[in-house]
Amino acid sequence: MTPTNTSWRTPTLILIAGCIILTLSMGVRHTAGLFLQPMSADHGWTRETFSFAFALQNLVWGLGSPFAGAIADRYGAGRTLLVAASLYVLGLVLMSLAPTPLTLDLSAGLLIGLGLSGTTFPVIMGVIGRHTTPEKRSLALGIASAGGSFGQFAVLPIGQMMIATYGWQSALVLLACGVGLIAPLAYAMADGHKPSAGAGQSVLEALHEASRERSFHYLFWGYFVCGFQTAFIMLHLPSYLVDAGMSANIGMTAVALIGLFNIFGSFYFGWAGGRSSKKNLLVWIYGLRAVAILVFMLVPLSTAAAWLFAAVIGILWLGTVPLTNGLIAQIFGLRYMSMLTGVVFLGHQLGSFLGAWLGGRIFDETGSYDLAWTISIGLSVLAAICSWPVNEKPLARLAAAT
């Protein structure tokens, strides 16, 4: 790893701060499914009403990510993180007070979505990527991705305990206090930029260059599928299990197990991405997801089956993140890494919008999630096909600069 412009902001410190920020941001975000039933019951909302707010959150998160990434590339990540964390906190507090679907859309959808766009992968991965040597970059990105997974594992039981002990409204306020801890950590991420190939490019030139590369589009649509699956499973798996007669704790445990096993999955795929073909690993991830979902649908539903599915899908959960971000850096360079990963992440969040909303809509229309699970299987096959032709070689511009 290479030193940063400020002596105390070492690559190791930046990696640790990034992991903690992702733990807080992603951990709180993954508690959304725990609030679906109590909030819907208290307000008399349908599942589609709640699902739409979080689908909107995913869409705003994706639309805001390229802009948050561009601002972080231009002015540094510290200010971006500070503003985004403030919006995140405000959104959680207002969500606890939301009396109507519209106010839920504005708080959980708009404000939290904007907060997530500046406190998650595009901004954090850009800083870590710029301060890591190429041979260690994929591993470092995998460790950071594991930080987000640890948040899912650690924060979910805390969120469930808060809801059971204090009620869902107080739980949201307490979670907002946790997100507020991102603000002091932002100072450690307020790094200066190192010179990198492509420094003479403008933002528009970088976007135009990426738009002409087929691999960029393949990564975009592969990430779309990843977003559909993760949003659908995260938001609707707890309710799917409760509908089958299981307790809320079983659903919470299943989602927490996804986070736990993804710690190992993210670390492994980050490590493996530094030693073998990243696009081939993406093909395996999407293909194995299709198999895992198909088996889960075919076997009799039980607690053991639910938890085994959670463990398997957890290994494959965010392994796409270090591989996709690593490919962006490898193909297009580091100068606009945050912005370009933000654009690809928009594809992820478009998929998340559909996964979260369509899951609720399908349930309200059919009384079952079966169609949504089937769509997830088909999309996995599509993502594997899209990942196969990705060209991993750096652009000629980068090769010449090197």
Confidence (pLDDT) at 200: 66
Per residue in 214-246, pLDDT (tens digit) is: 999 999 999 999 999 998 998 889 889 988 888
| Residue at 247 is within a domain | yes
Averaged pLDDT, 177-200: 74
HEC secondary structure over 235-246: HHHHHHHHHCCC
Confidence (pLDDT) at 119: 94
Confidence (pLDDT) at 4: 44
**Are 301 and 249 contacting, i.e. CB atoms less than 8 angstroms apart?**
no
Confidence (pLDDT) at 400: 58
Measured at the CA of 364, the angle between CA 243 and CA 162, to 5 degrees, comes to 50
Q: Which residue has the tokens 């990034």?
A: 18
| Residue at 197 is within a domain | no
How far is residue 265's CA from residue 195's CA, in Å, rounded to a whole number? 32
Averaged pLDDT, 159-170: 92
Q: Using the CB atoms, write b or e for 232-261: b if 16+ within 10 Å.
A: bbbbbbbbbbbeeebebebbbbbbbbbbbb
Confidence (pLDDT) at 313: 95
How far is residue 137's CA from residue 124's CA, in Å, rounded to a whole number? 13
Structure tokens at 23: 């733990």
Cβ atoms within 10 Å of 394's Cβ, excluding its own = 17
Structure tokens at 73: 């590339």
Confidence (pLDDT) at 1: 42
Half-sphere exposure of residue 376: CA atoms within 13 angstroms, side-chain side: 31
Per-residue pLDDT band at 3 (split at 50, 70, 90):
very low
Query: How much is the mean pLDDT over the chain?
Result: 87
Backbone angles phi, psi at 275, to 5 degrees: -125, -15
Per residue in 123-136, pLDDT (tens digit) is: 898 888 888 888 88
Confidence (pLDDT) at 399: 58
Averaged pLDDT, 299-316: 94
Per residue in 272-293, pLDDT (tens digit) is: 998 889 999 999 999 999 999 9
Residue 198 pLDDT more than 60? Answer: no
Averaged pLDDT, 23-51: 86
**Are 91 and 107 contacting, i.e. CB atoms less than 8 angstroms apart?**
yes
| Residue at 6 is within a domain | no
How far is residue 317's CA from residue 254's CA, in Å, rounded to a whole number? 13
Q: How many helices (H) and strands (E) does the chain have?
A: 19, 0
Please state which of the ranges 33-42, 113-122, 184-193, 291-300 shows the lowest mean pLDDT: 184-193
Provide the residue range defining the domain that includes 153: 11-192+202-401
Per-residue pLDDT band at 179 (split at 50, 70, 90):
very high
CATH code of residue 299 = 1.20.1250.20
How far is residue 106's CA from residue 84's CA, in Å, rounded to a whole number? 15
Alpha-carbon torsion, ordered 123, 124, 125, 128, to 10 deg: 120
Residue 387's nearest CA partner among 265, 289, 271, 285 is 285
Residue 195 pLDDT more than 50? Answer: no
How far is residue 58's CA from residue 64's CA, in Å, rounded to a whole number? 10
| Residue at 134 is within a domain | yes
Percent of the chain whose pLDDT exceeds 90: 45
| Residue at 159 is within a domain | yes
> Based on the structure, what is the number of domains in the chain?
1
Backbone angles phi, psi at 198, to 5 degrees: 95, 5
Longest dimension (CA), the chain: 62
Determine the 3-state secondary structure of 318 from DSSP.
coil
Tell the burial category of 276 from Cβ atoms under 10 Å away from its Cβ (0-12, 13-18, 19+): exposed
Averaged pLDDT, 57-79: 87
Q: Which residue has the tokens 């919470």?
A: 252
| Residue at 176 is within a domain | yes
Residue 373's nearest CA partner among 262, 289, 256, 278 is 289
Residue 199 pLDDT more than 60? Answer: no
Highest mean pLDDT among 72-81, 186-195, 267-276, 289-298: 289-298
| Residue at 1 is within a domain | no
Structure tokens at 382: 């599509």
Per residue in 313-323, pLDDT (tens digit) is: 999 988 898 89
Percent of the chain whose pLDDT exceeds 70: 94
Averaged pLDDT, 319-337: 88
DSSP 95-161: HHH--SHHHHIIIIIIIHHHHHHHHSHHHHHHHHHHTS-HHHHHHHHHHHHHHHHHHHHHHHHHHHH
Residue 247 pLDDT more than 70? Answer: yes
Averaged pLDDT, 15-23: 92
How far is residue 395's CA from residue 293's CA, in Å, rounded to a whole number? 36
Measured at the CA of 37, the angle between CA 31 and CA 38, to 5 degrees, comes to 90
